Amino acid sequence: ANYLFGKERDPNGRADGAKRMQGFRVGGQYMFRENIDFFALATVQRMHFEKQNATFLAFRNDETTDFTIGMNWRFMKSWTMKPQWVYSKNATNILIYAYQRNEVSVTVRRDFN
């Protein structure tokens, strides 16, 4: 688990200006068998923008939530397959910045010892 915070500068004159952010992340991993691990991760992050958006006449505030679940399967010596699913949601007071996203990926990795 960890707590995160920071400030992002105003890149190229963004309409909402710089942003302050804070949040937390918690996750874990469980070894099911010698060659299979399951993992899960959850993150919540709040962002507050410093300039009033001139188009929407509002100070933008976002809350992003991410959930990840997956596994590591070591199917041969030095080879790992990692399927995972990531769900992301951005809730905001300026609706054009709101979204929900599902990502599914499979990564195959070879370790060279």
* 108 or 13, which is more confident: 108
pTM of the model: 0.83
Distance CA 47, CA 19 (A): 6
Query: Tell me, what's the pLDDT at 113?
Result: 80
Sheet holding 99-110, edge to edge: 2-8, 19-33, 36-53, 58-76, 79-92, 99-110
Angle (CA) 46-18-21 rounded to 5° is 20
Q: Each residue of 46-96: pLDDT tens digit?
A: 999 999 988 999 999 999 999 999 999 999 999 999 999 999 999 999 999
Q: Each residue of 19-49: pLDDT tens digit?
A: 999 999 999 999 999 999 999 999 999 999 9
